[in-house]
Each structure stands twice: as C-alpha cells, then as structure tokens.
Amino acid sequence: MPDVAEAPLLDIRGLTKNFHVASAKNGNNVLCALDKIDLHVNRGETLGLVGESGCGKSTLARTLLMLERPDEGSFAFDGIDPFTLKGKALLAWRRRVQMVFQDPFASLNSRMTAGEIISEPWLTHRDLYPTAAARTARVRELLMLVGLRASDAGKSPQEFSGGQRQRIGIARALALGPDIIVLDEPVSALDLSVQAQVLNLLNDLQQRLGVAYIFISHDLSVVRHVADRVAVMYLGRIIETGTAEQVFERPRHPYTAALMSASPRLDAVEGRRERIVLRGEMPSPLDPPSGCRFRTRCWKATELCATTAPLPSSPAGEPDHLAECHHPMELGEDSGRLARAS
C-alpha cells in the first residue's frame, strides 16, 4: 500500500473545463464538463472513477493527458504543472502519464505489427531505446511482461483475441515507463472470464512496477475489485471520495448510495440492499440545477439543496471520506426506509 503521508503523485485543484457548443439551452451555450474538480492520486495506487455516461470522466482523463486545456484550476504532477512546461521538459513529462483505451479492436492500428505498435512511442522519445537492437529487446520484454510471447512481435492485431489485444495496449502504455496510466473502461469490451485475467494482469503489473492507475469504469463490481480509493462523479463534479471500503460499504452521498444499490453483483453478495431507482436522467450540463446538482433526482432534497451548493464534509473519524451533500446518508440508513425516488 502506498504511504499516504507522502505528497500525492497527482494533485488536482479546482479543475474546470467548459465547451462552447452550438446548441444553446436557456440561452446558454457554455457546457461545463468539469466544474472545479479537486482530487488526488497517490503513488502506486488505483483510483476508481465512476459515474453515469456524460458526467465528465473522459474529459477529466483527456485534460490530465493534456489533450484538453483547463479553463480554470490546475493539476500538479509531482509538484509540477505540466501546462507550464516546454520543449524537452514537456516531452519528458509526457512519458509519465499514459492511457489505455476501452476498445482493443479500434485502438490498435491493424496495419502495424504488435511490435511496431508497442515501439511507436519511441519514435517521439528516441533517446529511450536509441538502437534497433535495444528496441527489439525491449519489445520482447514488454510482450512477456503482459503475458504474451516474445515471438508475437511480428503478428498483426487481427491475429489476437480481444484480451490479447488489450494486453498489447497495456504494453504500449508501459513502453515509456509511466508513473500513472489512465485506463478508460479497459475491460468493458471483453468477456467476463477475460476481464478477470486482464484485471489480474493490471494488479500484477502495479505490484511489480509501482505504477498508479486511474481506472474509469461504469462497472462497480470491477471498480470494487481493483480500486484502493474511489471518486464518484456527477454532472462535472466529484461528489464523493474515499477508500473503496468507505465508498462501497458506507456511501454518504445519496447518488453514491443509489449507484451502489443498482449494482446487481453487489446485491447478490450482500443480499440486503434495496435498489434505489433514480428519477429521470442526469440533467444537461448546459442547464445544471441550482444549488446541489443532484437535487432534481434526490429523494432527500430540501429547499436548502435548491439554494445552496453543498461543500465537501466528512464523518467523524473518516477525514478523507468526503461527500458534497447537505443531508448525507446516515450509518445504517437503509434505502428501504426512505421515500422511494421513482
């Protein structure tokens, strides 16, 4: 387990990303995809990032990879804001953050061999493995590290199964020796049995290499299996964070409680959570509700929730278990005793 006393590897402060869109809602054409996000990732840990489609998970990932420029706020990686870097320092920084995409069929170039795919990042970072012999040797090592054969280097992606392709994607992400990998739904395109193998591989690589992961997934049972800490996102905001145990066992935000209750595999294990059915869809980020963003779907909402945005707060004894809610779930509070939201 990482030493939580040391400074975080990634420290996100007030990160905001707006998109200007053609279609206006209520006269507004500024879509706030990330709204003052505060979040951190420790060295060597897995942060699970969960939330409904459209809540801003991919925008956060893209911003961390510097594919989007934030409008406000910043993030520091080992104390350095990468947007202040230029030239060689920026190139060196780019090695440290890598990404694995959801679809191993679409994300690998079918005209390249596995070896070419894995070694492609070295075309930009030439100093890492300057000779052809060094590159060939490292490709073979990386293939074996992800559980493939060294001789697979000459094969094209079509010759591999989905799980094997995702292993190639992981090897490519490891090629530059990153400190953190953003995994965007890395197993959701795979069969269940293959999912388990890839998750075990990721876990094994983390133990061996000390790499941190941001693991984006809508599948809570998968997140529970892999995450040390969890961040729950709703309409551009992180509404709850804590250790996986805190967030899964003692969710404080009603939205988190609803998400957890809707996870059938968790219900099967625990056999007691009543499903909370949320009313309606997530509102448009072009026209977010006043006050608490979740209030239009929340069965606990009061007038206060409509007028005042809640600040993060934590329960006694759990200072790092933060939730933005005026009326957080109490310990032992059971959705069965609550007014149903549907």
Ligand X SMILES: Nc1ncnc2c1ncn2[C@@H]1O[C@H](COP(=O)(O)OP(=O)(O)OP(=O)(O)O)[C@@H](O)[C@H]1O
Residues that bind ligand X (CB under 6 A): 19, 21, 31, 33, 51, 53-59, 285
Angle between helices 162-174 and 192-209 (to 10 degrees): 20
User: Residue 216 Cβ, how far from ligand X at the closest point, in Å?
Assistant: 7
> What's the CA gap between 336 and 298, in Å, rounded?
15
Token pair 């992606």: residue:
157
User: Residue 62 Cβ, how far from ligand X at the closest point, in Å?
Assistant: 7
Q: 64 or 292: whose CB is closer to ligand X?
A: 64
Q: 14 or 315: whose CB is closer to ligand X?
A: 14
Sheet containing 46-50: give its strands across. Answer: 97-100, 180-184, 212-216, 46-50, 229-234, 237-243, 322-324, 312-313
CB-based burial label for 272 (10 Å; 0-12, 13-18, 19+): exposed
Q: 119 or 241: whose CB is closer to ligand X?
A: 241
Q: 32 or 180: whose CB is closer to ligand X?
A: 32
Indicate the SS3 state at residue 73. Answer: strand
User: Residue 156 Cβ, how far from ligand X at the closest point, in Å?
Assistant: 28
> What's the CA gap between 244 and 200, in Å, rounded?
18
User: Residue 257 Cβ, how far from ligand X at the closest point, in Å?
Assistant: 20
User: Residue 74 Cβ, how far from ligand X at the closest point, in Å?
Assistant: 19
Q: List CB contacts of 88: < 8 A, sequence separation 6 or more.
A: none
Q: 55 or 276: whose CB is closer to ligand X?
A: 55
